[in-house]
Amino acid sequence: MAVTVEINLGYEFDVKAKASEVFAVLSDVPTSASHFPKVDQLVDLGDNTYRWEMEKIGIASITLQTVYASKYTSNKSKGTVTWTPVKGEGNALVAGSWKITDNKKSTNIVLEIQGELTLPLPGLMKMVAAPVAEAEFEKMVEQYIDNLTKHFGGEA
């Protein structure tokens, strides 16, 4: 039996770095991923597709690991980086986008993430597991944003 957890997150923030620098980091998946917490391994599957293998986490007597793959597409002139899920890789489907806008003295960044995580748990665990998984994912994304903001010289 399995529990499916849906995650939808959106963030908007401004950093002091130039838009070109922000785009260079966010469009380079290994560089961007190096700022994301609790990544056990990032595997290059070729064709701008990467498998994310997160660190295992333990909840009570259960150990869980999130694994997923996404294909990335960057468009420098539009200031976008998007990713779409690759089916059949791991236990999650993750899509999302970065939108990078040059505000002359700062850069505006919008992050959107949609995810569907399938956990090997009995249905009765959904009430407990879903909020824990959502909170953990949200905490990691917020740490990721903090790490990127520091890298880009702070919030504008």
Separation between Cα atoms, residue 66 and residue 100, nearest integer Å:
27
Identify the CA nearest to 119 among candidates 70, 77, 78, 60. Answer: 60
Q: What is the pLDDT of residue 61?
A: 66
Q: Which residues of 80-107 are buried (b: 16+ CB within 10 A; e: fewer)?
A: bbbbbbbeebbbbbbebebbbeeeeebb
Predicted confidence at residue 65, as pLDDT, reads 86
Q: What are phi and psi of 61, to 5 degrees?
A: -100, 15
**pLDDT given at position 2:** 85
pTM for this prediction:
0.92
Q: Are strands 92-102 and 80-90 parallel, antiparallel or unpaired?
A: antiparallel
Q: Which stretches of the chain score pLDDT less than 50?
A: none
What does the domain layout of the chain look like in residue ranges? 3-151
State residue 59's pLDDT score: 63
What is the spatial distance between Cα 12 and Cα 42, in angstroms, rounded to a whole number? 25
Identify the bridge partners of residue 59 per DSSP, sorted by sequence position: 62
What's the topology of domain 3-151?
A: Alpha-D-Glucose-1,6-Bisphosphate; Chain A, domain 4 (3.30.530)
Cβ partners under 8 Å of residue 47, min gap 6? 71
Are 109 and 16 in contact, with CB atoms under 8 Å apart? no
